[in-house]
Amino acid sequence: MKLYDYFRSSAAYRVRIALNLKGLAPERAFVHLRRGDHREENYLALNPQGLVPSLVTDDGAVLTQSLAILEWLDETHSRSPLLPADPSGRARVRSLALTIACDIHPLNNLRVQNYLTGTLGVTDAQKDGWVRYWIDTGFEALETRLAGDAATGRFCHGDAPTLADVCLVPQMANARRMDFDFTPYPTLLRIEAACAALPAFANAAPAKQPDAEK
Amino acid sequence: MKLYDYFRSSAAYRVRIALNLKGLAPERAFVHLRRGDHREENYLALNPQGLVPSLVTDDGAVLTQSLAILEWLDETHSRSPLLPADPSGRARVRSLALTIACDIHPLNNLRVQNYLTGTLGVTDAQKDGWVRYWIDTGFEALETRLAGDAATGRFCHGDAPTLADVCLVPQMANARRMDFDFTPYPTLLRIEAACAALPAFANAAPAKQPDAEK
């Protein structure tokens, strides 16, 4: 197995956490997004979207899109299940994860920020306001759902980490890279702290990766 | 079962297709997004994100996020499986679906368009350019992947519709609402036509819904 990774990609960060939870340590290659490695012919042949992560399996299949990779890891490696057993619980966990993976993260990633400041010519302050707005909009909904539901435990769903936590922690790390006010989100902070206490989460953090930069 | 729907929401359109494929016809309520029904207290109590669709199951669980609803439908209703049986095929189908559901659709939905023209004050032409850019960026990757892979059949994956087709058709319908050039995407057009021939897809189209407007 080989992971195409970038320390600062929060989609790759999700996959790193899941690999750690599953006890897997694949070979890794690093795709430097700010330098444009993802636009090189070799990488586009592997992943036509030019995004990270990609995961090449032992039988040569190229898996793309972090949530598809996470589901594949969960279907093929039973240790530390990322989804509960009941369909209704699975739907809850996936919905929490998708709120981040569809409705926060894609609006704020590097290519979108570049379009805003480049093609549309918005100021850095407007761009930061955009990023903060979509994080707040998503976090408000997550805080309401998590705080008001008995299915929430030490983690987003019960007392073991799931797909929802795997998506939440990298999104919170992204927010921490800017001046972001977490005061309205006590439940998210509590769950983030519970995750940070687990080596699988702590060791997946951007700063701990071989390609990390200051 | 009760679906909270809006004819023009492409996320709701996905769920309508899947319900038809599964032979299910739940009760429906219509949430008029342009009129702001999704910001009303009653709806926010159901779905704190204020997005459609939501699906209330027969035992009262409220399911949100279209992909989580689709996975739930597939796990609880075996007719017309939305995912293949093998993990690698499942990862391929999910990745194709997520390319649309994460990397095209959320960038172009109504709330984002409103932020662009309202808060950021971009012109309608710039806004249309944004919408077209993200559709093209996603469709280029999809066309490359689908055209170059023997796993593609009459539909995105083999000869039966899957989650990928369920996401593709509504996204193409969105693109058709603007002046969009489909010439570079012959494989997408071919698959869209194969889907349109199925009543499950045809009957889910926005124009056929009870809340449709001209």
Residue-wise pLDDT for A37-87, tens only, equals 888 899 999 999 999 999 999 999 999 999 999 999 999 999 999 999 999
Q: Measure the CA–CA gap between B143 and B160, rounded to whole angstroms.
A: 18
Together in a domain, B48 and B102: no
pLDDT tier at B185 (50, 70, 90 boundaries)? very high
Together in a domain, A141 and A68: no
Please indicate, yes or no, if residue B214 is contained in any of the structural domains.
Answer: no
pLDDT tier at A214 (50, 70, 90 boundaries)? confident
Per-residue pLDDT, averaged over A111-131, amounts to 96
Q: Measure the CA–CA gap between B129 and B134, rounded to whole angstroms.
A: 9
Q: What is the pLDDT of residues B21-32, one digit of tens each?
A: 999 999 999 999
Q: Show residues of chain A in contact with B162, CB under 8 Å.
A: none
Phi, psi of A140 (to 5 degrees): -60, -45
Per-residue pLDDT, averaged over B42-58, amounts to 94
- Tokens representing B13 are 């359109």
pLDDT tier at A157 (50, 70, 90 boundaries)? very high
Nearest-Cα distance to chain B for A200, in Å, is 23
Q: Does A37 touch chain B (CB under 8 A)?
A: no
Q: Is the backbone peptide bond immediately before A53 cis, with ω within 30 degrees of 0?
A: yes
A94's CB contacts (< 8 A; 6+ apart) are A83, A163, B65, B67, B68, B71, B72
Q: Measure the CA–CA gap between B129 and B133, rounded to whole angstroms.
A: 6
Please indicate, yes or no, if residue B43 is contained in any of the structural domains.
Answer: yes
The predicted pLDDT at position A34 comes to 83
Please indicate, yes or no, if residue A209 is contained in any of the structural domains.
Answer: no
Q: Which residue of A has its CA nearest to B109?
A: A103
A10's CB contacts (< 8 A; 6+ apart) are A105, A170, A171, A173, A174
Together in a domain, A44 and A113: no
A120–B130: do the CB atoms touch at under 8 Å? yes
- Is the pLDDT score of B179 beyond 90? no
Q: Measure the CA–CA gap between B116 and B139, rounded to whole angstroms.
A: 22
Beta bridge pairs of residue A29: A4
The residue whose two tokens read 């032409």 is B125
Please indicate, yes or no, if residue A206 is contained in any of the structural domains.
Answer: no
Together in a domain, B63 and B98: no
Helix (H, G, I), strand (E, B) or coil at B64: strand
Q: Which residue of A has its CA nearest to B96?
A: A65
pLDDT tier at A36 (50, 70, 90 boundaries)? confident
Between the CA of residue B1 and those of A13, B4, B12, what are the distances in Å? 37, 10, 15
Nearest to B68 among A95, A129, A130 (CB): A95
Q: State the average pLDDT for chain A.
A: 96
Q: Is the backbone peptide bond immediately before B87 cis, with ω within 30 degrees of 0?
A: no
Helix (H, G, I), strand (E, B) or coil at B84: coil
B122–A119: do the CB atoms touch at under 8 Å? no
CATH number of B60's domain: 3.40.30.10
Q: Which of residues 138-197 of B touch A (CB under 8 A)?
A: 138, 140-141, 144-145
Within chain A, strands assigned E span 2-5, 27-30, 54-56, 62-64
Q: Which residue of B has its CA nearest to A139?
A: B49
Together in a domain, A44 and A133: no
Q: Could you report the predicted ipTM of this complex, rounded to two decimals? A: 0.97
Together in a domain, B113 and B194: yes
CATH number of B117's domain: 1.20.1050.10
Together in a domain, B65 and B105: no
Together in a domain, B111 and B196: yes
The predicted pLDDT at position B150 comes to 96
Taking the CA atoms of chain B, what radius of gyration do you get in angstroms?
17
Q: Measure the CA–CA gap between B177 and B213, rounded to whole angstroms.
A: 13
Q: Which of residues 38-57 of B touch A (CB under 8 A)?
A: 48-51, 57
Beta bridge pairs of residue A31: none
Q: Does B121 touch chain A (CB under 8 A)?
A: no
A115–B130: do the CB atoms touch at under 8 Å? yes
Please indicate, yes or no, if residue B211 is contained in any of the structural domains.
Answer: no
Please indicate, yes or no, if residue A210 is contained in any of the structural domains.
Answer: no
Together in a domain, B130 and B39: no
Q: Does B123 touch chain A (CB under 8 A)?
A: no
The predicted pLDDT at position B4 comes to 97
Any long-range contacts for A69-74 (C-beta under 8 Å, 24+ apart)?
A69/A15, A69/A18, A69/B91, A70/A14, A70/A15, A70/A18, A70/A163, A70/A166, A71/B90, A71/B91, A71/B94, A72/B87, A72/B88, A72/B90, A72/B91, A73/A15, A73/A18, A73/A19, A73/A22, A73/A24, A74/A18, A74/A163
- Is the pLDDT score of B193 beyond 90? yes
The predicted pLDDT at position A35 comes to 86
First to last CA, chain A: 28
- Total domains present in chain B: 2
B71–A57: do the CB atoms touch at under 8 Å? no
- Is the pLDDT score of A33 beyond 90? no
Together in a domain, B70 and B148: no
Q: Which residue of A has its CA nearest to B145?
A: A48
pLDDT tier at B149 (50, 70, 90 boundaries)? very high
The predicted pLDDT at position B173 comes to 97
Q: Measure the CA–CA gap between B163 and A84, rounded to whole angstroms.
A: 21
B102–A99: do the CB atoms touch at under 8 Å? no
Contact between A180 and A108 (Cβ < 8 Å) = no
Q: Which domain does B196 fall in, by range? A: 87-201
Of B18, B45, B80, the residue at which a domain comes to its end is: B80
For chain B, give the percent of residues with pLDDT over 70: 100
A59–B88: do the CB atoms touch at under 8 Å? yes
Q: Measure the CA–CA gap between B39 and B193, rounded to whole angstroms.
A: 36
Q: Out of A7-21, A93-107, A165-179, B37-51, which region has the weakest mean confidence (pLDDT)? A: B37-51
The closest of A162, A142, A150, A187 to A94, measured between CA atoms, is: A162
Please indicate, yes or no, if residue B195 is contained in any of the structural domains.
Answer: yes
In DSSP notation, B2-22 reads EEEE-TT-HHHHHHHHHHHHH
Chain Cα centroid distance, residue A94: 13
β-pair type (B27-30, B2-5): parallel
Q: Measure the CA–CA gap between B202 and B199, rounded to whole angstroms.
A: 5
B60's CB contacts (< 8 A; 6+ apart) are none
Q: Show residues of chain A in contact with B92, CB under 8 Å.
A: 61, 63, 68
B88–A120: do the CB atoms touch at under 8 Å? no
The predicted pLDDT at position B136 comes to 98
Q: Out of A67-71, A170-174, B43-47, B127-131, which region has the weakest mean confidence (pLDDT)? A: B43-47
Please indicate, yes or no, if residue B108 is contained in any of the structural domains.
Answer: yes
The predicted pLDDT at position B166 comes to 98
Contact between A211 and A7 (Cβ < 8 Å) = yes
Nearest-Cα distance to chain A for B90, in Å, is 8
Q: Out of A32-36, B20-24, B177-181, which region has the weakest mean confidence (pLDDT)? A: A32-36
The residue whose two tokens read 């490695």 is A37
The predicted pLDDT at position B38 comes to 84
Nearest-Cα distance to chain B for A40, in Å, is 14
- Is the pLDDT score of B71 beyond 90? yes
Of B33, B55, B80, the residue at which a domain comes to its end is: B80
Of B45, B80, B115, the residue at which a domain comes to its end is: B80
Q: Which residue of A has its CA nearest to B102?
A: A102
The predicted pLDDT at position B184 comes to 98
Q: Which residue of A has its CA nearest to B113?
A: A107
Q: Show residues of chain B in contact with A90, CB under 8 Å.
A: 68, 71-72, 75
Together in a domain, B73 and B159: no
Together in a domain, A111 and A145: yes
Q: What is the pLDDT of residues B72-88, one digit of tens each?
A: 999 999 999 999 999 99
Element spanning B63, H or E? strand B62-64
The predicted pLDDT at position B86 comes to 97
Nearest to B94 among A50, A65, A107 (CB): A65
